[in-house]
Chain A
């Protein structure tokens, strides 16, 4: 029976990109449904009624939601090119760090991106603390997964793509090669991988999108400064 595999995603979603990469690594054929998050399709709402988000993988009519869970599902269903380690302890570590990435690293990087002045200084320190853990993880390894790209590399993949874009917009080094040599090297190795390279969303579009996302925060700060000035004068 032919497998029916569909992926609901957006052109830029970093969570969707994890699944795109995983499907590519496993050599799987699938149909892409591109969603407009301002105008979600009835199918997306039907397949993910709880969160109404992308990505959603639909396999023979059955929907799987949450990108990290989708990666595990893909790995358990198609055994070629394993993404997760076999050893229970290493597997637990991969799951732990992937969650840390989403719960702590990403929000801390985002805070640096949207803040300014003193607040940004503090955000930078917090982000650096988080990145230090990742730098440690890479000791003696080319990828988080070892010799080849695995689950944890895909989980952190957004960094290899997004960090340089955010750095360009805020004109600030978030991952300094001198402080994070292993992480910087990993970002290059990951980006240069032929499977990963093919799937990157267009950079100019990304810069435009994130510049626009930053605007309201800049405006807010400007208004606060004006208020403070007028109160003190």
Chain B
């Protein structure tokens, strides 16, 4: 039985990738220590040691062994604590492949979107993504509440962690992204996910994120000025 001290998460309440890991740990009722990394300011020695390749959060450290990359960590949690709590991934190999496919798609879409400085390009990419994910939701949920079916699963975690950020983008941009008339399936799912026990205490709300975002911008501007 894993003791709480033997599971550490180098992460941050403000990072959606970190949130993914927190959601998975919550689903499995695994006790852990959250070590807040001020990732937007600098990389701590502890982080660099745990993740020499990318030097990024989240990193799960289980019995002193580090696991990096949020989706790899979520699968690891599912497998290391098999039999404890619900399964995160589906049991059928084909359904697992589909869940992994869409999770990979989400990250790839984000990566290309975050490279775009131009706001409309980012929004365009997000909407394109939502259209496909609306279809994916219909296929994966098979009429049930979540991508994972009756219960929250891998794909719910992979996408759900961004819902606060979607709201922030809507506030800043002033437009509805997750429009229920365009994406009824996803919009309904988002509401259910945000009010689910697993997500309620972990996912930060839009205003908190907005405040955090402002802080990051200020910190980065100060760093740039100091460097000049």
Q: Does B35 have its Cβ within 8 Å of any Cβ on chain A?
A: no
Q: Does B72 have its Cβ within 8 Å of any Cβ on chain A?
A: yes
Q: Does A65 have its Cβ within 8 Å of any Cβ on chain B?
A: yes
- CB neighbours (8 Å) of A217 from chain B are none
Classify chain A's interface size: 20 to 34
Q: Does B69 have its Cβ within 8 Å of any Cβ on chain A?
A: yes
- CB contact between B68 and one of A50, A65, A96 (< 8 Å): that residue: A96
A62 near B76: Cβ-Cβ < 8 Å: no
- CB contact between B105 and one of A50, A95, A96, A100 (< 8 Å): that residue: A50
- CB contact between B96 and one of A50, A62, A73, A92 (< 8 Å): that residue: A73
- CB contact between A89 and one of B80, B93, B96, B105 (< 8 Å): that residue: B80
Docked CA distance A154–B94 (Å): 21
- CB contact between A100 and one of B53, B80, B132 (< 8 Å): that residue: B53
- CB contact between B104 and one of A66, A76, A92, A100 (< 8 Å): that residue: A66
- A-B contacts, CB under 8 A, total: 56
B93 near A73: Cβ-Cβ < 8 Å: yes
Q: Does B176 have its Cβ within 8 Å of any Cβ on chain A?
A: no
Docked CA distance A92–B76 (Å): 6
Report the nearest A residue to B67, measured CB to CB.
A92
- List residues of A (195-224) whose CB comes within 8 Å of B's CBs: none
- CB neighbours (8 Å) of A89 from chain B are 62, 65, 67, 76, 80
Known: A69-B100, A76-B96, A89-B76. A99 touches B69 (CB 8 A): yes
Report the nearest A residue to B65, measured CB to CB.
A89
- CB contact between B76 and one of A88, A100, A133 (< 8 Å): that residue: A88
A65 near B93: Cβ-Cβ < 8 Å: no
B93 near A133: Cβ-Cβ < 8 Å: no
Report the nearest A residue to B51, measured CB to CB.
A96
- CB neighbours (8 Å) of B101 from chain A are 64-66, 69
Report B87-112 CB contacts with A as 1/0, cut-off 8 Å. 00000011011001100110000000
Docked CA distance A62–B97 (Å): 11
Report the nearest B residue to A59, measured CB to CB.
B94
A69 near B105: Cβ-Cβ < 8 Å: no
Docked CA distance A95–B53 (Å): 14
- CB neighbours (8 Å) of B75 from chain A are 91-92, 95
Q: Does A77 have its Cβ within 8 Å of any Cβ on chain B?
A: yes
- CB neighbours (8 Å) of B79 from chain A are 88, 91-92
A64 near B94: Cβ-Cβ < 8 Å: yes
Q: How far is the CB of B216 from chain A (nearest CB, A)?
A: 24
Docked CA distance A53–B43 (Å): 37
A-B contact pairs, 12 of them (CB 8 A): A64-B97, A69-B101, A69-B104, A70-B97, A76-B93, A88-B76, A89-B65, A89-B80, A92-B72, A95-B72, A96-B69, A96-B72
List residues of chain B with CB under 8 Å of any chain A CB: 53, 62, 65, 67-69, 72-73, 75-76, 79-80, 93-94, 96-97, 100-101, 104-105, 132
List residues of chain A with CB under 8 Å of any chain B CB: 50, 59, 62, 64-66, 69-70, 72-73, 76-77, 88-89, 91-93, 95-96, 99-100, 104, 133
14 new A-B contacts, CB < 8 A, other than A72-B100, A95-B75, are A50-B105, A66-B101, A69-B97, A72-B96, A73-B94, A73-B96, A76-B93, A89-B62, A89-B67, A89-B76, A89-B80, A92-B67, A99-B69, A100-B53
